[in-house]
Amino acid sequence: MREISYLEAVREAMTQEMERDPRVFLIGEDIGEYGGAFQVSYGMLEEFGHERILDTPITELGLTGAATGAALIGMRPIAEIMFMDFTTLASEQLVNQAAKLRYMFGGQSTVPMVLRTPAGSGTGAAEHHSQSFENWFVHVPGLKVAMPSTPYDAKGLLISSIRDNNPVVFIEHKLLYKTKGEVPEEPYEIPLGQADIKREGKDLTIIATAIMVKKSQEAAEQLAQEGIDVEIVDPRTLRPLDTETIVNSVKKTGKVLIVHEAVKTGGFGGELAGVIAESEAFGYLEAPILRLAGREVPIPYNRNLERAAVPQVEDIIEKARQLATLKV
Protein backbone atom coordinates (compact mmCIF):
# COMPACT_ATOMS: atom_id res chain seq x y z
CA MET A 1 0.00 0.00 0.00
CA ARG A 2 1.20 3.52 -0.74
CA GLU A 3 2.51 5.76 2.04
CA ILE A 4 1.44 9.37 2.44
CA SER A 5 1.84 11.94 5.20
CA TYR A 6 -0.68 12.73 7.92
CA LEU A 7 -1.14 16.14 6.30
CA GLU A 8 -1.84 14.58 2.91
CA ALA A 9 -4.28 12.14 4.50
CA VAL A 10 -6.30 15.01 6.00
CA ARG A 11 -6.30 16.87 2.68
CA GLU A 12 -7.31 13.73 0.77
CA ALA A 13 -10.20 13.06 3.13
CA MET A 14 -11.53 16.59 2.65
CA THR A 15 -11.03 16.48 -1.12
CA GLN A 16 -12.74 13.12 -1.57
CA GLU A 17 -15.70 14.16 0.57
CA MET A 18 -16.07 17.44 -1.32
CA GLU A 19 -16.00 15.53 -4.60
CA ARG A 20 -18.62 13.11 -3.28
CA ASP A 21 -20.97 15.56 -1.60
CA PRO A 22 -21.58 19.11 -2.92
CA ARG A 23 -22.82 20.17 0.52
CA VAL A 24 -19.31 19.86 1.99
CA PHE A 25 -17.24 23.04 2.03
CA LEU A 26 -14.18 24.39 3.86
CA ILE A 27 -14.21 27.67 5.78
CA GLY A 28 -11.40 29.31 7.73
CA GLU A 29 -8.58 31.84 7.84
CA ASP A 30 -5.92 31.76 5.08
CA ILE A 31 -7.13 28.39 3.80
CA GLY A 32 -7.48 29.47 0.17
CA GLU A 33 -4.59 31.04 -1.74
CA TYR A 34 -2.25 30.60 1.22
CA GLY A 35 -3.24 26.96 1.68
CA GLY A 36 -3.67 27.07 5.45
CA ALA A 37 -1.22 27.81 8.26
CA PHE A 38 0.29 24.33 7.82
CA GLN A 39 -0.51 24.00 4.09
CA VAL A 40 -3.16 21.35 4.73
CA SER A 41 -5.58 22.85 2.18
CA TYR A 42 -2.91 23.78 -0.36
CA GLY A 43 -4.25 23.40 -3.91
CA MET A 44 -7.88 22.94 -2.88
CA LEU A 45 -8.88 26.47 -3.95
CA GLU A 46 -7.81 25.71 -7.52
CA GLU A 47 -9.88 22.54 -7.51
CA PHE A 48 -13.06 23.76 -5.81
CA GLY A 49 -13.08 27.54 -6.20
CA HIS A 50 -14.01 30.36 -3.86
CA GLU A 51 -17.60 29.15 -3.38
CA ARG A 52 -16.44 26.06 -1.50
CA ILE A 53 -13.10 27.21 -0.09
CA LEU A 54 -14.15 30.24 1.96
CA ASP A 55 -11.42 32.49 3.31
CA THR A 56 -12.65 34.52 6.26
CA PRO A 57 -11.39 37.54 8.19
CA ILE A 58 -9.64 36.86 11.48
CA THR A 59 -12.81 35.99 13.36
CA GLU A 60 -12.91 32.53 14.91
CA LEU A 61 -16.24 33.28 16.55
CA GLY A 62 -17.71 34.48 13.26
CA LEU A 63 -16.53 31.62 11.08
CA THR A 64 -17.68 29.03 13.62
CA GLY A 65 -21.06 30.72 13.79
CA ALA A 66 -21.26 30.73 9.98
CA ALA A 67 -20.45 27.01 9.92
CA THR A 68 -23.06 26.29 12.59
CA GLY A 69 -25.72 28.19 10.65
CA ALA A 70 -24.79 26.51 7.39
CA ALA A 71 -25.01 23.08 9.03
CA LEU A 72 -28.47 23.89 10.37
CA ILE A 73 -29.78 24.52 6.85
CA GLY A 74 -28.37 21.34 5.36
CA MET A 75 -24.74 22.05 4.45
CA ARG A 76 -21.83 20.04 5.86
CA PRO A 77 -19.11 22.58 6.69
CA ILE A 78 -15.52 21.90 7.71
CA ALA A 79 -14.36 24.87 9.78
CA GLU A 80 -10.63 25.28 10.33
CA ILE A 81 -9.35 27.09 13.40
CA MET A 82 -5.72 27.94 12.66
CA PHE A 83 -4.45 26.96 16.14
CA MET A 84 -6.34 25.15 18.87
CA ASP A 85 -5.56 28.03 21.22
CA PHE A 86 -8.07 30.12 19.27
CA THR A 87 -10.92 27.69 19.87
CA THR A 88 -11.29 29.78 23.02
CA LEU A 89 -12.68 32.50 20.74
CA ALA A 90 -14.90 30.04 18.86
CA SER A 91 -16.27 28.39 21.99
CA GLU A 92 -19.45 30.44 22.33
CA GLN A 93 -20.78 29.21 18.99
CA LEU A 94 -19.33 25.72 19.29
CA VAL A 95 -20.22 25.00 22.93
CA ASN A 96 -23.38 27.05 23.45
CA GLN A 97 -24.90 26.68 19.99
CA ALA A 98 -23.60 23.83 17.79
CA ALA A 99 -23.38 21.31 20.64
CA LYS A 100 -26.89 22.05 21.96
CA LEU A 101 -29.14 22.82 19.01
CA ARG A 102 -30.07 19.24 18.10
CA TYR A 103 -31.12 18.62 21.69
CA MET A 104 -32.95 21.94 22.00
CA PHE A 105 -34.98 21.23 18.85
CA GLY A 106 -35.86 17.70 19.91
CA GLY A 107 -33.87 16.15 17.08
CA GLN A 108 -35.74 18.05 14.36
CA SER A 109 -32.50 19.79 13.36
CA THR A 110 -28.95 18.49 13.11
CA VAL A 111 -25.59 20.27 13.07
CA PRO A 112 -23.34 18.17 10.80
CA MET A 113 -20.14 20.20 11.02
CA VAL A 114 -16.48 19.48 11.69
CA LEU A 115 -14.18 21.89 13.46
CA ARG A 116 -10.59 21.00 12.53
CA THR A 117 -7.73 22.46 14.52
CA PRO A 118 -4.00 21.76 15.03
CA ALA A 119 -2.93 21.41 18.67
CA GLY A 120 0.14 20.77 20.74
CA SER A 121 3.70 21.95 21.21
CA GLY A 122 7.00 21.17 19.55
CA THR A 123 7.24 23.92 16.94
CA GLY A 124 8.59 26.75 19.10
CA ALA A 125 5.32 28.64 18.78
CA ALA A 126 5.12 29.52 22.50
CA GLU A 127 2.25 30.07 24.89
CA HIS A 128 -0.49 31.23 22.52
CA HIS A 129 0.00 28.69 19.71
CA SER A 130 0.89 25.41 21.45
CA GLN A 131 -1.90 24.39 23.80
CA SER A 132 -3.92 21.19 24.14
CA PHE A 133 -7.56 21.80 25.06
CA GLU A 134 -9.12 18.49 24.05
CA ASN A 135 -10.65 17.81 27.45
CA TRP A 136 -12.48 21.16 27.42
CA PHE A 137 -14.58 19.84 24.55
CA VAL A 138 -14.88 16.28 25.86
CA HIS A 139 -16.71 17.88 28.79
CA VAL A 140 -19.49 19.22 26.51
CA PRO A 141 -22.50 16.97 25.80
CA GLY A 142 -23.40 17.16 22.12
CA LEU A 143 -19.84 17.37 20.84
CA LYS A 144 -17.78 14.48 19.53
CA VAL A 145 -13.98 14.69 19.80
CA ALA A 146 -11.53 12.88 17.52
CA MET A 147 -7.75 12.86 17.96
CA PRO A 148 -5.97 10.70 15.35
CA SER A 149 -2.34 9.68 15.74
CA THR A 150 -1.57 8.18 12.30
CA PRO A 151 -2.22 9.09 8.65
CA TYR A 152 -4.53 6.05 8.31
CA ASP A 153 -6.58 7.13 11.32
CA ALA A 154 -6.60 10.76 10.22
CA LYS A 155 -8.24 9.99 6.88
CA GLY A 156 -10.73 7.42 8.15
CA LEU A 157 -11.77 9.42 11.19
CA LEU A 158 -12.13 12.66 9.24
CA ILE A 159 -14.37 11.04 6.64
CA SER A 160 -16.52 9.62 9.43
CA SER A 161 -16.60 13.03 11.10
CA ILE A 162 -17.71 14.80 7.92
CA ARG A 163 -20.49 12.25 7.40
CA ASP A 164 -21.66 12.42 11.04
CA ASN A 165 -24.81 14.41 11.80
CA ASN A 166 -23.31 15.93 14.95
CA PRO A 167 -20.60 18.54 15.49
CA VAL A 168 -17.14 16.97 15.73
CA VAL A 169 -14.00 18.63 17.07
CA PHE A 170 -11.19 17.10 15.02
CA ILE A 171 -7.77 17.63 16.61
CA GLU A 172 -4.60 17.32 14.53
CA HIS A 173 -1.20 17.44 16.25
CA LYS A 174 1.27 19.71 14.46
CA LEU A 175 4.21 17.33 14.88
CA LEU A 176 2.27 14.54 13.18
CA TYR A 177 1.69 16.40 9.90
CA LYS A 178 4.94 15.18 8.35
CA THR A 179 4.75 11.60 9.65
CA LYS A 180 4.00 8.96 7.02
CA GLY A 181 2.03 5.75 6.95
CA GLU A 182 0.02 3.41 4.77
CA VAL A 183 -3.28 4.91 3.62
CA PRO A 184 -5.70 3.44 1.05
CA GLU A 185 -6.48 5.65 -1.94
CA GLU A 186 -10.20 4.96 -1.80
CA PRO A 187 -12.43 6.63 0.82
CA TYR A 188 -13.04 4.63 4.02
CA GLU A 189 -14.54 5.27 7.45
CA ILE A 190 -13.22 4.53 10.91
CA PRO A 191 -16.20 4.61 13.29
CA LEU A 192 -16.12 7.32 15.93
CA GLY A 193 -15.84 5.59 19.29
CA GLN A 194 -13.57 2.74 18.20
CA ALA A 195 -10.16 2.55 19.88
CA ASP A 196 -7.14 0.83 18.34
CA ILE A 197 -4.45 -1.34 19.91
CA LYS A 198 -1.30 0.06 18.36
CA ARG A 199 0.95 -2.54 19.99
CA GLU A 200 0.15 -5.85 21.68
CA GLY A 201 1.79 -6.52 25.04
CA LYS A 202 1.32 -8.38 28.32
CA ASP A 203 3.13 -6.52 31.12
CA LEU A 204 1.46 -3.12 31.20
CA THR A 205 -0.92 -0.94 29.19
CA ILE A 206 -0.10 2.55 27.99
CA ILE A 207 -3.13 4.59 26.94
CA ALA A 208 -1.90 7.49 24.84
CA THR A 209 -3.29 10.13 22.49
CA ALA A 210 -1.99 11.97 19.40
CA ILE A 211 1.80 12.49 19.35
CA MET A 212 2.10 10.56 22.61
CA VAL A 213 1.12 7.38 20.77
CA LYS A 214 4.20 7.73 18.58
CA LYS A 215 6.40 8.52 21.57
CA SER A 216 4.96 5.58 23.49
CA GLN A 217 5.73 3.27 20.58
CA GLU A 218 9.35 4.43 20.61
CA ALA A 219 9.49 3.93 24.36
CA ALA A 220 7.95 0.46 24.07
CA GLU A 221 10.64 -0.66 21.65
CA GLN A 222 13.34 0.33 24.13
CA LEU A 223 11.48 -1.20 27.06
CA ALA A 224 11.15 -4.48 25.15
CA GLN A 225 14.94 -4.75 25.23
CA GLU A 226 14.68 -4.69 29.03
CA GLY A 227 12.06 -7.42 29.07
CA ILE A 228 9.06 -5.11 29.63
CA ASP A 229 6.31 -5.93 27.15
CA VAL A 230 4.06 -2.89 26.64
CA GLU A 231 0.58 -2.78 25.12
CA ILE A 232 -0.42 0.57 23.62
CA VAL A 233 -4.06 1.61 23.32
CA ASP A 234 -5.00 4.65 21.25
CA PRO A 235 -8.58 5.80 22.00
CA ARG A 236 -8.65 7.72 18.67
CA THR A 237 -11.91 9.38 19.71
CA LEU A 238 -12.24 10.78 23.21
CA ARG A 239 -15.99 11.27 22.94
CA PRO A 240 -17.52 8.80 22.34
CA LEU A 241 -14.96 6.68 24.18
CA ASP A 242 -14.39 3.00 23.51
CA THR A 243 -14.33 1.84 27.13
CA GLU A 244 -14.52 -1.85 26.22
CA THR A 245 -11.12 -1.93 24.49
CA ILE A 246 -9.52 0.04 27.32
CA VAL A 247 -11.02 -2.14 30.07
CA ASN A 248 -10.07 -5.37 28.31
CA SER A 249 -6.47 -4.23 27.89
CA VAL A 250 -6.15 -3.28 31.56
CA LYS A 251 -7.68 -6.60 32.61
CA LYS A 252 -5.10 -8.34 30.45
CA THR A 253 -2.00 -6.53 31.77
CA GLY A 254 -3.05 -5.47 35.26
CA LYS A 255 -1.11 -2.21 35.03
CA VAL A 256 -1.86 1.05 33.24
CA LEU A 257 0.00 4.25 32.43
CA ILE A 258 -1.94 7.12 30.85
CA VAL A 259 0.07 9.56 28.73
CA HIS A 260 -1.11 12.83 27.21
CA GLU A 261 0.39 16.23 26.40
CA ALA A 262 -2.19 18.44 28.10
CA VAL A 263 -1.55 19.33 31.73
CA LYS A 264 -2.51 16.70 34.27
CA THR A 265 -4.99 18.84 36.22
CA GLY A 266 -8.37 18.42 34.56
CA GLY A 267 -6.80 16.46 31.72
CA PHE A 268 -8.28 13.48 29.88
CA GLY A 269 -6.11 11.12 31.90
CA GLY A 270 -8.28 11.76 34.94
CA GLU A 271 -11.38 10.71 32.97
CA LEU A 272 -9.63 7.54 31.80
CA ALA A 273 -8.51 6.74 35.34
CA GLY A 274 -12.09 7.19 36.52
CA VAL A 275 -13.46 4.92 33.79
CA ILE A 276 -10.98 2.19 34.75
CA ALA A 277 -11.59 2.59 38.49
CA GLU A 278 -15.35 2.25 38.01
CA SER A 279 -15.09 -0.79 35.74
CA GLU A 280 -14.45 -4.48 36.27
CA ALA A 281 -10.82 -3.77 35.34
CA PHE A 282 -10.29 -2.30 38.82
CA GLY A 283 -10.26 -5.77 40.33
CA TYR A 284 -7.46 -6.80 37.97
CA LEU A 285 -5.12 -3.93 38.83
CA GLU A 286 -1.78 -5.03 40.26
CA ALA A 287 -0.56 -1.46 40.83
CA PRO A 288 -1.98 2.07 41.08
CA ILE A 289 -3.05 3.83 37.86
CA LEU A 290 -0.29 6.25 36.85
CA ARG A 291 -0.60 9.40 34.75
CA LEU A 292 2.12 11.19 32.80
CA ALA A 293 1.12 14.58 31.42
CA GLY A 294 2.27 18.10 30.66
CA ARG A 295 3.68 20.26 33.42
CA GLU A 296 1.47 22.86 35.07
CA VAL A 297 2.93 25.76 33.09
CA PRO A 298 2.14 27.65 29.89
CA ILE A 299 4.16 26.25 26.98
CA PRO A 300 7.51 28.14 26.92
CA TYR A 301 9.09 29.63 23.79
CA ASN A 302 12.58 28.38 24.64
CA ARG A 303 13.05 25.02 22.89
CA ASN A 304 14.67 23.28 25.86
CA LEU A 305 11.99 24.50 28.24
CA GLU A 306 9.28 23.62 25.73
CA ARG A 307 10.61 20.08 25.52
CA ALA A 308 10.73 19.83 29.30
CA ALA A 309 7.12 20.98 29.61
CA VAL A 310 5.58 17.92 27.95
CA PRO A 311 6.30 14.17 28.18
CA GLN A 312 9.14 12.83 26.05
CA VAL A 313 10.19 9.27 25.18
CA GLU A 314 12.63 9.11 28.10
CA ASP A 315 9.90 10.23 30.51
CA ILE A 316 7.59 7.48 29.31
CA ILE A 317 10.35 4.90 29.70
CA GLU A 318 11.09 6.04 33.26
CA LYS A 319 7.43 6.01 34.27
CA ALA A 320 6.83 2.61 32.67
CA ARG A 321 9.85 1.14 34.48
CA GLN A 322 8.46 2.51 37.73
CA LEU A 323 5.06 0.97 37.02
CA ALA A 324 6.55 -2.38 36.06
CA THR A 325 7.98 -2.77 39.58
CA LEU A 326 4.94 -1.45 41.49
CA LYS A 327 2.52 -3.69 43.38
CA VAL A 328 -0.76 -2.83 45.10
3 state SS of 88 = helix
Question: Are residues 2 and 185 in contact, defined by beta-carbon separation less than 8 angstroms?
Answer: yes
Among 270, 14, 295, 327, CA closest to 135: 270
Annotation marks residue 139 as catalytic: no
Q: Indicate which residue of 129, 134, 172, 231 is catalytic.
A: 129
**Is 60 an active-site residue?**
yes
- Distance, CA of 124 to CA of 254 (rounded, Å): 38
**What contacts 304, CB < 8 A, 6 or more positions away?**
none
Options 8, 17, 29, 60, the catalytic residue: 60
C-beta separation of 64 from 94 below 8 A:
yes
d(CA 224, CA 222): 5
Of 237, 246, 69, 268, which is closest to residue 161 (Cα–Cα)? Answer: 237
The set of catalytic residues is: 60, 129
